[in-house]
Amino acid sequence: MESKRTFLIVTNNPLVAECVPADYAVDFENITYREILVKVRDLVYAGHRLYTHPLSGSVKPNETPYKSVVVSRLPKGMEPEEAAIISNSIETFDKFTPRKRELTQQMFKDFQLIDYTLLCGAVGLDAAAGLSNRKSH
């Protein structure tokens, strides 16, 4: 992974937006998991490099509402392999039947924590330190 100055975290996870240090570039939007994938696809097609896999982790896309993906902050030239990865990730996402269930507040928090922890591992952040700096617990 490159320096934190050279990458952008694209996420719909409010925990990431709250806990990642301010000197990291975070593009947070309150959109769906699929919309995050489409946003990342558009960035990759525009030449941003894909630094984390769009379907990383063991949580299936139909089970969690949150996703964080790391791309280069600036375009570097479109890579066909990375364009294929993000396109295939969207196709894979679309194959999963949406689960019909009510998520409790605790479930939302748990899914946020899973995504945040995966992201921290990918970019070398101390997840516990970020959580301890939260304004609200």
Q: pTM for the complete prediction?
A: 0.92
Rg (C-alpha) for the chain, rounded Å, is 15
Give yes or no for a contact between 23 and 125, defined as CB atoms under 8 angstroms apart: no
User: In Å, how far are 29, 37, 74, 127, 130 from 48, measured between CA atoms?
Assistant: 18, 14, 6, 26, 27
Return the structure tokens found at 64: 């969690």
Tell me the pLDDT of the chain (137 aa) as tens digits.
Answer: 566 788 999 999 999 999 999 889 999 999 999 999 999 999 999 999 999 999 988 888 889 999 999 999 999 999 999 999 999 999 999 998 877 889 999 999 999 999 999 999 999 999 998 898 776 55
